[in-house]
Amino acid sequence: MKYFFAFALAIFLSTFLRADLVKEVPKSDRHDLTAGQTVVKSTDVPGVPWPQLSLYRVVNAPPDVVAALFTDYDAAPSYTPGLIHAQVIVTNPDGTKDVRYTIKVPIIQRISYVVRNTYQKQGDNFSVSWKLLESPLAKKSDGSLRIEPYENRTLLCYTNLCVPITNLVSGLKGQAVVEAKNTVLALATESERRANKPR
């Protein structure tokens, strides 16, 4: 029986990684996507003050460059707005990593939170999913980054659902969209810089 479940899990992950991301983008937004814009899908979740965000962007860099950049935690503060520090604090036996991020925030200046990142790779397709382990401001923050080849470039999808520790901050969801867009833009810009860097 355990072999059946292992096989079923492998099939599920294989299907997940082979998913055609561009099909998730509304046809009305695909022109903006190919023109280099970030396409944002916002989905309301019952009982959660902030929506689930999915951001799509075409990056003029190979998938392996984008994937390598996301896992280059030491370099992350150099290109990510508001990020002070990123550090792998635990590498687990199953290959997942617990990563502590320290970010700038208004008034209290900085906070740290820890997520567990899970990595999957099949061919040129790559995904990392994360689950929040600890944070002073959120009860939950789960998401993923999915990367796949797209017309000699890379199409990425950054998804996150954050449940703040109090509904009093529900009015900040517009800022959450801005910050997510800035994160995706920074990832794309740095990936393209690295791809064009003379070897």
Q: What is the pLDDT of residues 86-141, one digit of tens each?
A: 999 999 999 999 999 999 877 667 899 999 999 999 999 999 999 999 998 889 99
Contact 64, 49 (CB under 8 A): no
pTM: 0.85
**pLDDT of residue 35 exceeding 60:** yes
Number of compact structural domains in the chain? 1
Within a domain: residue 172?
Answer: yes
Q: pLDDT tens, 141-182?
A: 999 999 999 999 999 999 999 988 876 555 566 777 888 999
Within 10 angstroms of residue 191's Cβ, the number of other Cβ atoms is 25
* Nearest in space to 92 (alpha carbons), one of 118, 68, 70: 118
Within a domain: residue 45?
Answer: yes
Could you tell me the CATH number of the domain that includes residue 63? 3.30.530.20
Within a domain: residue 91?
Answer: no
Residue 11: band (very low, low, confident or very high) from pLDDT cuts 50, 70, 90? very low
